Structures are given as structure tokens and as C-alpha cells.
Structure 1
Amino acid sequence: MQETLIDTLAPLGIALASALLGLLAVELLHRALLRFGRGSAFLTELASRAHRPVQFVVVLCAVYFSVRDVAEEAKWRNAFLHVDQLIIIGAVAWLTAALLTLAEETALARFRTDVPDNRTARRLHTQIVMVRRVTVAVVAVLAGGVMLMTFPQARIIGTSLLASAGFAGIVAGLAAQSVLRNVFAGLQLAFSDAVRLGDVVIVEKEWGRIQEITLSYVVVHVWDDRRLILPTSYFTEKPFENWTRTEAALLGSVMFDVDWWLPVPEMREELRRALESTDLWDGRVSVLQVVEATGSALQLRALVSAEDAPKLWDLRCFVREHMVAWLRDAHPAALPRLRTEMTAGVPLQATLTGQTHTTDSDARVFSHSIDGRARAEAFTGPE
């Protein structure tokens, strides 16, 4: 009994000592990276992100190899090594995901999106984020698969399944499902450059900005701070407007209905002065045209430009407000009005036909004439 207890405790003691030595080595390496990487943001972030996963991997590996080599006669050896092996696989997957996240953030830091011309940066941000999510998902799936393959029964089933011709049919059937369709659509969005993070889009009659793109859905930040959640397949199967597909600069129009008395050249000059007085205008387009001249008013269209969609909206509101005030103060006679022509004492129809007399019998449908009384009987029946 004493020998059995010693045989059990000795390997555990050696495993514990190996774990402590592994922790000490990881801690020394961590402090060395922090000390020598003070001038490098990458090394500092690497030491921070990889610290915990590396601790787990090193300690678990030290315990695994020490128990495997020392406790050869212990009854609990195989079960202990199997559990330790499963945890090592999970820790390695954790470390891989942490390194992928660090690589993503390092790559994203090189491309700023807070600059006016950020189309290329937003495209790269979208692609890098999608690639990282796909690779992390692949790592998780592979880790789960490797864990299952450590069980003999699962290894036999997995080998048979991979070797069978029915595996291709299973994959094809799964690919037809909506989940995988959205995953493939997300990858297509990332590399087709149809939509990127930060793009201004019109979807479902809503104006918003692409806030997040995942493998299964896209988040659109609507202008009134709502969030519109759409499946990624929506952007590959349905039409939508992308206002920043090639560049962020846009054109916008403001419509005015004015009277015919308005001097259009003066309003055109006032539009130019108004645009030059605000920093919302990017200086590209300032056009005022008469686009309709029928009825009792002229319809004018002011075409203006801004460097992005939010500024364009504010610029259109500014132009509308400024020009309305100018029309009211400088040319009140040019405000929209309704014209009517009155002829005293003579009905308009009589004036047009030359007749100046009408009777009540001509003003009623169901009385005062033979055919009128006949119509009345048809509608109400005989009296």
C-alpha cells in the first residue's frame, strides 16, 4: 500500500515541478518581451495577448511529457494523458486565435479610416476582418475535429466517413442551407468590393452606414441610430444603393418653386455666395437651372456637392434655408402664388361661348325637363 501511494505521488510531484518550471520560463520570457519591446507596440501587444495562452500550453505540455515518461506503471496514466491532451489542443487553438487577432489589429493599424479618402483602407479593413473570422472559425472546427480524433471510436467513424462517396453529397446538401449560403455570401462581400465597412448605403428604403460585416449578417447603422440587421446573402441577391462605392463625394439637389417674376441669374449668384460661406461645400459643383416652366410657377433645381453623405445632407438643408430667406427678403414678389381670373356677373362658360343667359333647367340633372324626370324615375322609381 505504501509503495502504491509513493508510485502515485511521485509522478504527480514531478509533474507539478515541471509545471512550475514551465511557468517560470514563460514569466521570464514575458518580462523580457515587455522590457526589450518598450519601443515596439507590436512586441508589447504580443506579450500581452499571448501571455495566458502560452502559460497554458507550456504548463500542460510539461505535465504531459513528465507524466508520460515517469508514470509508466500508474493505472490512471492513460486517462490523465488523454484529458491533458484534449486541454492542450484547446490551449493551442486559443493561442492561434490570439495570434490571428493580433495580426489583424497590426494590419488594421497601418490603414487609417479617419481620413477623407479612405476607400482603400475600408476595403482592406473589411477583408482583414472577414479573413480573421474565417480563420478563427476554421481553427475552432479543426481543434474540435482533432479532439474527436483522439477517441478511437470517433477516429474509425471519421475515417469511414471521409473515405465514403457520400461525404461529397453531405457537403453539397449542407452548402445549400441558408447558414452556409450566408457564410459564402460574407466571403463574397469581403473580396468582391461590393460593400465595405463604413460604406453609406440605401437598403430597405433606409439610409445608413455599414457598421459590421460578419459571416452570417451585416449591421447597418441607420441615420437615426437604429441598427438594421440583414443577412449577408441580402447584399448578393438584392439590389441596393452604395453611395461610397468609388468615392465618398456626392452630388445633391434642392428644388424650388418660384414665381415667373424671379430673376434667375441673381438667385444663381446668391447660391454661389451661400456655398462659399460654408465649409460643408467641397467647391466642386454649384449649379442652378430652371428644370420646369409650366403652370403658374417655375421649378428650379440647385445642384451642390459635398465630400461625403452626412455633409451633403447638412449642405442641402443649409442651402434650402438660406435661399428661402433670401427669396422672402430680396424678392417677395417672386414667391409662389396662385393666379385666378375673375369676370364679374358673367359665368366663364357663357363668356367663352358668347351666351349670357342660363336657366335653372340647364343646371339640374333629375328635374325641369322631360329627360330629367325620366332619369329621376330610373334612379328612384315611379312616384
Structure 2
Amino acid sequence: MENVLRPLIVFGGSVLLTLAIGWATDRLLRTADERSPDSPLWELLRRGRIPYQLVLCSALLRGSYDHAKLLEQHRVGLGRTLTLVLIGSAAWLAIRIAAAIVETSYSRYARAHRDAARVRRVRTQVELIMRVVSAIVIVVAIASMLLTFPAMRAAGASLLASAGILGIVAGVAAQSTLSNMFAGLQIAFGDMVRIGDTVVVDGEWGTVEEITLTFLTVRTWDERRITMPVSYFTSKPFENWSRGTPQMTGTVFWYLDHSAPIEAMREKLRDILRECPAWDGRACNLVVTDTTANTMEVRALVTAKDADDIWTVRITVRERMITWLSTEHPYALPRVNTSEAVLPPYRVPSPDHSSLRKAYEFPRTGRG
């Protein structure tokens, strides 16, 4: 009877004590969150209550298991299982706590600074740092789990002895992966590209959506995702429209007839921009930049606060100017000049070219 009651008491007591401590901790975190609604730290810490309770329960069972002398025939297996659960839940809890601290620091920084470019840079660094911390914690947890097995501890000496050779082989085999990881750190702290930046890569215009230690995702204007290694941005040139300041300057081109009213177009451009909310008012200009035998190239220069607004300004100016020209000045649109073909002058061929004479003779009308 004792062999049945003792395990039930130990297991039930550990579970009840875990639930009680977890409930009390959750109440304290909820109270702290209500008293400081501006800080997301306490709410983020509450998300780690499951790994927290796993740590408590596995620690209580591991400690009581040794003293209660339960199930002696399965002592080694149960003890090792509880140890593995304790290590895994502790790593899970450590990642949740680190994520809560990092996210809280970022939100405080974002509220204190209004510079969008600086906030995006910090966001990129925070996410990459969190990924590095998570990777380190997971590697340490897996190594600790493996060391709980005696066979792995015995093999540790031989593994350490061959660590140099294995390191060289692994470095050669994972050369591209390591280069991507270092490139990811270089992007994070070198401020080359940030999450939310507008970039042009391989002729594709889009916004940086995600940056990891190995790859980067760009969301294009038509909602496609382009995934490429981060080493691309450290080895090849690319356009970053959000570098430094998000302000943009755009151009609009028309190909018009030489009689187009340039001064009237300048006045119309100002009227269009005044009615366009996306225009930031910094600059506007309209000039003739080139000419051909049939048309001339007219360029309008406009400005906006970011890449999205400059696109709106350009299409608005292009559409409204074409509509105005077709209605008010249709002669300004490109035209193809045509005229009747002129026949070559009549010439009597020499006598020895009788075959060509017929080609130059006009048909007789019968009037002699």
C-alpha cells in the first residue's frame, strides 16, 4: 500500500505546489502590469508561465524523487527523464525572459524616439540579437542534455582531442553558412539595411520584411516575397531608398509635340501638386530635357516624404497632366505628320533601253 500511496502523494503534492506557486506568481505579475500599463514587461513575462511551471514541477519531482526512494527499479531512467525535462524547460523559460526584456527595451526606445529610420535600425538589431541568444541557449541546453548520459561524458575526451580537426572540416563545409551569419551581424550593426527599408534588388522594388542571421526577405509591391542570403547585401550593390532619410525625389516624363505649352504646363503642375496630399511641398520643377525630330521630352520633378508617397505623386501628376493636355491642348500630344507622295520627274530613256521605256510611258487615254 505504501508503494502506491507514496508515489501518489509525492506526484500530487508536487503538482499542487506547482499550481499554487504558478497561480501566485501570475497574480503578482498581473498586479504589476495593472500598476504600470506603459511597460509591456509584466505581460510578456506572464507568457512564460508554462515553462515556469514545468521548471517548478520537474525540480520538485527531481528533488523529492531522490529522497522518497520511489520505484527503485526505474530510478536511473526516471531521474534522467526528469533532468532532461528540467533542462529543456529551463532553456525555454530563459528564452522567454530574454525576449520579454529585449522587447520591453525596444518599445521604450521606440516611444522615446520619433526618428523612424533609427527605430527600424534598433528593431533589426534587437531581432538579430534575440536570435543569437536563442541559438546559444538552445545549444547549451542540448549539450547539457547530452552530458547527462555517461556514454557522452566518456566520449567527451576524444571529442575534445579531435576538436581541432573537426573545427577545420566544419568550417570548410559550412563556409557559406558562416559567411551568411557574419553578414547578418554586419547588416545588424553596420546599419546597411533595416526592417522596413525600401530597397531595389535585381530590378525588384520592395520593402524589407524580415532579417535573420542567414537570409533576408523582401516584400514586393505585388505582395510577392523574395528570399535571398544576407551575404548578397554585403557583396553586391543594391538601392536603399530609406537610407539616412526616407524623403524621396521622383520624376515624370512626357513625350510631346514641339508646340506643347511649356509655361502652361508648369502652372498646371503646381496646381496638381497643391491638390495632392502626398506631395511634401519641398520642390517641383518642369523642364524640356531632350528633343527628337518629331517630339520633345518633358520632365517633371516632384518630392514626397517616403517611397510610397512619391509613387502616389508621380502617378497623380502623370494622369492629370495627360488628361489636361488632351482636353485643353490636344495639339501638344505627339502627332505623325504625313503628306502625299511625290512622283519622280518624267525622263525619256535612251533607245537601247526599250524594255524600260514601257515603265515610263503613261497609259494612253484615247485622246491621241
TM exceeding 0.5: yes
Consecutive aligned runs of 4 or more in structure 1 exceeding 4 Å deviation: 358-361
Corresponding position of 2:165:
166
The AA in structure 2 aligned to 1:182 is: N
Give the whole-Å Cα distance in 1 for the aligned partners of 2:25 and 2:43.
Answer: 14
Q: Is the 8 A contact 2:41 2:100 kept in 1?
A: no
Give the whole-Å Cα distance in 1 for the aligned partners of 2:170 and 2:190.
Answer: 24
Give the whole-Å Cα distance in 2 for the aligned partners of 1:186 and 1:359.
Answer: 84
* Counterpart pick for 1:119 among 108, 117, 120: 117
User: Which has the larger displacement, 85-94 or 117-126?
Assistant: 117-126
Partner of 2:193: helix, strand, or coil?
A: coil
Q: Is the 8 A contact 1:49 1:99 kept in 2?
A: no
Give the whole-Å Cα distance in 2 for the aligned partners of 1:21 and 1:205.
Answer: 61
Corresponding position of 2:87:
89
Corresponding position of 2:246:
248
Matches within 5 A, 1:35-46: 35-41=31-37, 42=40, 44-46=42-44
Give the whole-Å Cα distance in 1 for the aligned partners of 2:330 and 2:22.
Answer: 81
Shift of 1:245: 1.4
Corresponding position of 1:103:
101
Corresponding position of 2:271:
273
Matches within 5 A, 1:165-204: 165-176=164-175, 178-204=176-202
Q: Is the 8 A contact 2:7 2:70 kept in 1?
A: no
Pick closer, same or farther for the CA change 1:260–1:209 going to 2, 3 Å. same
User: Which has the larger displacement, 282-291 or 26-35?
Assistant: 26-35
Shift of 1:12: 5.8
Pick closer, same or farther for the CA change 1:279–1:358 going to 2, 3 Å. farther
Total equivalences in the alignment: 349
Q: Deviations over 1:116-167 (max 9, x none)?
A: 8411111111110111112112211111111001112112223332243324
Q: Deviations over 1:195-222 (max 9, x none)?
A: 1111111123211111111223222111
Aligned-pair Cα RMSD in Å: 2.7
Partner of 2:154: helix, strand, or coil?
A: helix
The AA in structure 1 aligned to 2:183 is: A
Corresponding position of 2:27:
31
Partner of 1:210: helix, strand, or coil?
A: strand
Q: Is the 8 A contact 2:62 2:83 kept in 1?
A: yes
Percent of paired sites with the same residue: 39
Q: Is the 8 A contact 1:16 1:63 kept in 2?
A: no
- In structure 2, stretches of 5+ residues that fail to align are 358-368
Corresponding position of 1:262:
260
The AA in structure 2 aligned to 1:222 is: T
Shift of 1:99: 1.2
Give the whole-Å Cα distance in 2 for the aligned partners of 1:321 and 1:237.
Answer: 39
* Counterpart pick for 2:63 among 65, 79, 85: 65
User: Which has the larger displacement, 21-30 or 317-326?
Assistant: 21-30
Q: Is the 8 A contact 2:207 2:218 kept in 1?
A: yes
Corresponding position of 1:140:
138
Pick closer, same or farther for the CA change 1:206–1:36 going to 2, 3 Å. closer
Partner of 1:285: helix, strand, or coil?
A: strand
Pick closer, same or farther for the CA change 1:44–1:345 going to 2, 3 Å. closer
Give the whole-Å Cα distance in 1 for the aligned partners of 2:45 and 2:185.
Answer: 31
Q: Is the 8 A contact 2:124 2:195 kept in 1?
A: yes
Corresponding position of 2:9:
13
Give the whole-Å Cα distance in 2 for the aligned partners of 1:10 and 1:122.
Answer: 57
Q: Deviations over 1:39-64 (max 9, x none)?
A: 22435414521211111101111111
Q: Is the 8 A contact 2:273 2:317 kept in 1?
A: yes
User: Which has the larger displacement, 253-262 or 324-333?
Assistant: 324-333
Q: Is the 8 A contact 1:38 1:44 kept in 2?
A: no
Shift of 1:224: 0.9
Partner of 2:35: helix, strand, or coil?
A: coil
Partner of 2:97: helix, strand, or coil?
A: helix
Shift of 1:259: 2.2
Pick closer, same or farther for the CA change 1:368–1:127 going to 2, 3 Å. same
Partner of 1:278: helix, strand, or coil?
A: coil
TM-score, scaled to structure 1: 0.82
Corresponding position of 1:292:
290
Give the whole-Å Cα distance in 1 for the aligned partners of 2:81 and 2:177.
Answer: 33
User: Which has the larger displacement, 274-283 or 329-338?
Assistant: 329-338
Give the whole-Å Cα distance in 2 for the aligned partners of 1:328 and 1:303.
Answer: 21
- In structure 1, stretches of 5+ residues that fail to align are 348-355, 362-366, 370-383
Q: Is the 8 A contact 1:201 1:243 kept in 2?
A: yes
The AA in structure 1 aligned to 2:223 is: D
Q: Is the 8 A contact 1:117 1:248 kept in 2?
A: no
Give the whole-Å Cα distance in 2 for the aligned partners of 1:140 and 1:210.
Answer: 27
